[in-house]
């Protein structure tokens, strides 16, 4: 069965410091992986995705993520955090071999960037 | 200006009432989805539709119903059978659902409160 885990409910980081939001997954085949961001009382916005190829993918607003197949992880990173990055972040996975059209979402990680 | 619209933004329901949440997209996407978001639980799939006049139950379909009579519209009805409907409801869409590597586009959400 497909699953996604975001082990940290909240991550605090000082402005200007690098940030990492963790995501691990479990699928039977090669996964499609996504990161989304949600600001209060808003819908989710797409940040980046990994489908195939280079393990380091770059996305919107200076975010990037590294796909690690051996560790089944897809951690979101940014070299220098901004206060405006404070939001709720969701990792999602799609297993192309699952036979369904479902995307599985993690429980979310709240990022707080402190000035 | 392409996107997904959801209405109303806030909805209040009395016990025993059915209510319908609207979702409209002008992105010409085939697939549409309804998610429920509760604090600490991430997004849970209620229903999804890959094509007009076809839809499938997600993980928490009990107490909900949908229709897909037009490509651009995917309304969700929360029936009186849904015992705990207070939540934030998100509609999403994407194209090429069979491939699975396309990100979803989300609407701004409807917050439903039972009085």
SS (H, E, C) chain A: CCEEECCCCEEEEECCCCEEECCEEECCCCCEEEEEEECCCCCEEEEEEECCCCCEEECHHHCEEEEECCCCEEEEEECCCCHHHCEEEEEEEECCCCCCCCCEECCCEEEEEEC
The mean of the pLDDT values for chain A is 93
From A32, A46, A102, residue closest to B58, measured CB to CB? A102
Confidence at residue A99, expressed as pLDDT on a 0 to 100 scale: 72
Q: Name the minimum distance, in Å, from the CA of A37 to any CA of chain B.
A: 11
Confidence at residue B101, expressed as pLDDT on a 0 to 100 scale: 83
% of chain A with per-residue pLDDT over 70? 100
pLDDT at B97 over 70: no
Determine the Cα–Cα distance for residues B115 and B12; give it in Å rounded to an integer: 7
Query: Stretch A3-22: mean pLDDT, rounded?
Result: 97
Q: Name the minimum distance, in Å, from the CA of B82 to any CA of chain A.
A: 22
A contacts of B6 (beta carbons < 8 Å): 43
pLDDT per residue over B85-95, tens digit each?
999 999 999 98
Determine the Cα–Cα distance for residues B5 and B22; give it in Å rounded to an integer: 8
A contacts of B98 (beta carbons < 8 Å): 101
Query: Stretch A94-104: mean pLDDT, rounded?
Result: 81
From A36, A94, A107, residue closest to B100, measured CB to CB? A94
Query: Stretch B64-80: mean pLDDT, rounded?
Result: 97
Confidence at residue A29, expressed as pLDDT on a 0 to 100 scale: 81
Task: For residue A69, say if its preceding peptide bond is cis, omega within 30 degrees of 0.
Answer: no
Confidence at residue B2, expressed as pLDDT on a 0 to 100 scale: 62
Query: Stretch B18-29: mean pLDDT, rounded?
Result: 96
Contact B40 A9 (CB under 8 A): yes
Query: Stretch A32-60: mean pLDDT, rounded?
Result: 94
């Amino acid at each position: 069965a497909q699953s996604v885990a975001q082990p940290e409910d909240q991550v605090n980081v000082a402005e200007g410091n690098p940030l990492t939001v963790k995501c691990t997954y479990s699928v039977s085949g090669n996964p499609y992986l996504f990161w989304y961001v949600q600001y209060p009382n808003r819908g989710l916005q797409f940040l980046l995705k990994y489908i195939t190829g280079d393990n380091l993918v770059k996305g919107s607003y200076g975010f990037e993520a590294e796909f690690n197949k051996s560790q089944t992880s897809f951690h979101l990173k940014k070299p220098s955090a901004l206060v405006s990055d404070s939001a709720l972040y969701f990792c999602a996975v799609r297993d192309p071999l699952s036979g369904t059209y479902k995307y599985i979402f993690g429980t979310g990680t709240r990022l707080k960037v402190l000035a | 200006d392409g996107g997904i619209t959801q209405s109303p933004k806030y909805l209040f329901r009395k016990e025993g009432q059915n209510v319908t949440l609207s979702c409209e997209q002008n992105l010409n996407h085939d697939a549409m989805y309804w998610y429920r978001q509760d604090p600490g639980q991430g997004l849970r799939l209620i229903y999804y539709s890959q094509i007009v006049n076809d839809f499938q139950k997600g993980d928490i379909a009990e107490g909900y119903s949908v229709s897909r009579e037009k490509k651009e519209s995917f309304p969700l009805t929360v029936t009186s059978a849904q015992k705990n409907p207070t939540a934030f409801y998100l509609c999403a869409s994407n194209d090429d659902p069979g491939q699975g590597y396309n990100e979803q586009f989300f609407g701004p959400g409807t917050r439903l409160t039972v009085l």
